Amino acid sequence: MFDRNGKDDSSYNVDNYTFVKEHSPKVGELIQKEYERQQHNIELIASENYCSEAILAACGSCLSWKYAEGYPTNRHSGNESRYYGGTKYVDELEEYCCDEWRKVFHTDYHVNVQPHSGSQANFAAYKSVLKPGDTILAMSLDNGGHLSHGSSVNFSGKLYNCVFYDVDENGRIDMEDVKKKARQYRPNLILAGASAYSRIIDFKAFSEIAKEYGAYFMVDMAHIAGLIAAGEHPTPFGYADIITTTTHKTLRGPRGGMIFCKKELAKKVDSAVFPYAQGGPLMHIIAGKAICAEEAQTPEYKAYIHQVVVNCKAFCDEFLKLGYKVVTGGTDNHVFLIDLSDHKFSGKDLQDALDEVGITLNKNAVPGDKRPPKKTSGVRVGTAPMTTRGFKEEDFRKTARRIDEVVRRLDKEFAE
C-alpha cells in the first residue's frame, strides 16, 4: 500500500479484513473487496483521502468503548462537566487535541473537536448564532457550494431563509454580487466556503462586507483546510467569527468535523454541539483527529500539500490542452470541475463509464447547469488522494489522457 508520505509500504496495516473474516465472513469479504478497489483504482474524489496507519489504529482502539458526554471541564465556569465517570484520560486526550489544532492554524480561537461530521459542525455553528427563519447568504449548490449551505432539501434550507450570491461569467465568486445581496437581504450570517470551487477565496473581502451589514461571518473550510494549514491558501483566522471543517479531506485524517470560533462565541458553540446537536463524542475519532493535527505540523505534510496543488494545476492544464471546458478556466487549489455541457452524455454517464476502467470521480453540477442533480453536466476531480499514493505531475497528465479516451468513446456511443 503506502505510508502517510506516499511511499510504498507493504507493512501498512489496513488489510485487517483477514481478522474480521474469522468472525464475520460476509463483512470481512466486503471490506476486502473495498480495500482492493481502493488499492487498484485511481481515486479522484476531492473529498476523499488516505489517512496514516496510526490514525486508523486510533480509530479502532479501545476508545471506541468510552462514553464521555459533555466536556473535559466546563471551560466557561471551571466546573467539571462530564456526565460519566472514568474520563480522566479522555479528558486529557480531548484537551490535547484542541491544543494541537490551535497550533496547526496558529490561532487562539476556541475549538470544539466533537462534531461527528462537517454537516454536524455546520448545524451546530448555525444554531450558535442564528434562530430558525434567520437569513443566511451563501454560495448555492450548483455554483459550487455544499448541501448544508442552504440547499432546499437540507436542514439548512428548511430551517433558515437562505439566499445565494452568484458567480460571474468565468465561474468565480462575484464579490460585487455578494455586497449587493448583503445590502438587499441584510443576512444574519454570510457564509464563505465550497465543495467544488477551484479558486482562492478572499476572506478579507467577505469579512468587510459582513461587518458593513452587521452579519456574522462564517467560513466552511472543509475542502481547503489542509491548504490553509500548509500555507497554500490564505487563512480565514482573524477574519471569520466561526470556522467549520472536516478532518478527512485535505487534512488527511479520520472522518469527522470541528468548529473554531472567536472566544466570545465559545459557550454558544459548545452548547450547540452538546447537548443541542449531539450526545456522546466519539473519543476514538478524537484520538485520530489529534494524530492528524500532529501530522499536519510536519515538514512532510507541507511538502505533500504543495505537491497536491502542483499536481492539480498540471492535471487541469492537461485537460485544457485537450480542449475541455474547465469551470473558472483553471485551479488554485486541489480541485476543479470539467464542464460537459456541450456533450450529449451527462456527468453521471462519465462517472459510471470511468468506474468500469478503475477511475473514480463524482458527477457535479456546473454553474447554470440545465441537467438535474442526479445527472449533472459536469464532473469534479481532486488530486489529494492520489498524491498521497505518490502520483506526480506526469501521472496526472496520463490520467487526463485516459479519461479523454473514455470521453471520446462516450461521444461516439451517444452520437449513434
Which amino acids are annotated catalytic?
Answer: 67, 69, 220, 246, 249, 255
d(CA 365, CA 216) in angstroms, rounded, equals 28
Q: Which of 278, 271, 281 is nearest to 128 (CA)?
A: 271
Q: Which residues pair with 381 in a beta bridge?
A: 336
Three-point CA angle 226, 358, 353, nearest 5°: 105
| 3-state DSSP of the chain | CCCCCCCCCCCCCCCCHHHHHHHCHHHHHHHHHHHHHHHHCEECCCCCCCCCHHHHHHHCCHHHHCCCCEECCCCCCCCCEECCCCCHHHHHHHHHHHHHHHHHCCCCCEEECCCCCHHHHHHHHHHHHCCCCCEEEEECHHHCCCHHHCCCCCHHHHHCEEEEECECCCCCECHHHHHHHHHHHCCCEEEECCCCCCCCCCHHHHHHHHHHCCCEEEEECCCCHHHHHCCCCCCCCCCCCEEEEECCCCCCCCCCEEEEECHHHHHHHHHHHHHHHCCCCCHHHHHHHHHHHHHHCCHHHHHHHHHHHHHHHHHHHHHHHCCCEEHHHCCCCCEEEEECCCCCCCHHHHHHHHHHCCEECEEECCCCCCCCCCCCCEEEEECHHHHHCCCCHHHHHHHHHHHHHHHHHHHHHHHC
Residue 218 and residue 347 in contact, taking contact as beta carbons nearer than 8 Å: no
Q: CA 374, 375, 376, 382: dihedral to nearest 10 degrees?
A: 80
Q: Which of 92, 115, 153 is nearest to 276 (CA)?
A: 115
